[in-house]
Amino acid sequence: MYWLVKQDKRKYAWGIAIVTLIAILGIYVSQKASKNAIENYRQHQIDAREQETENHKDTQN
């Protein structure tokens, strides 16, 4: 990122603003993806427990 800003000899402010915006957007997307992955994992655990309970009931009958 520093290299990209240094390439912009005349307008450091624009370079810094663009790099900062890209970094913030990247952090936001990463957080959103992580939150979705955690929710999917928790739902998978719930579904697996329900399936295990159903299989256990079927084997008892």
Give the mean pLDDT per block of 10 residues along the chain (61 residues). 69 77 94 92 91 80 60
Query: Which pLDDT value is given to residue 31?
Result: 94
Query: Which pLDDT value is given to residue 5?
Result: 67
Please classify residue 48 by burial: count the beta carbons closer than 10 Å to its beta carbon, then call 0-12 exposed, 13-18 middle and 19+ buried: exposed
Cα dihedral angle (12, 16, 19, 24), rounded to 10 degrees?
-170
Query: Which pLDDT value is given to residue 52?
Result: 87
Query: Which pLDDT value is given to residue 12?
Result: 72
What does pTM read for this prediction?
Answer: 0.56
Query: Which pLDDT value is given to residue 58?
Result: 72
Instruction: Print burial letters for 9-35: b (CB count within 10 Å at least 16), e (below 16).
Output: eeeeeebeeeeeeeeeeeeeeeeeeee
Q: Which tokens in the block code for residue 10?
A: 């005349």
Q: Which tokens in the block code for residue 17?
A: 């603003």
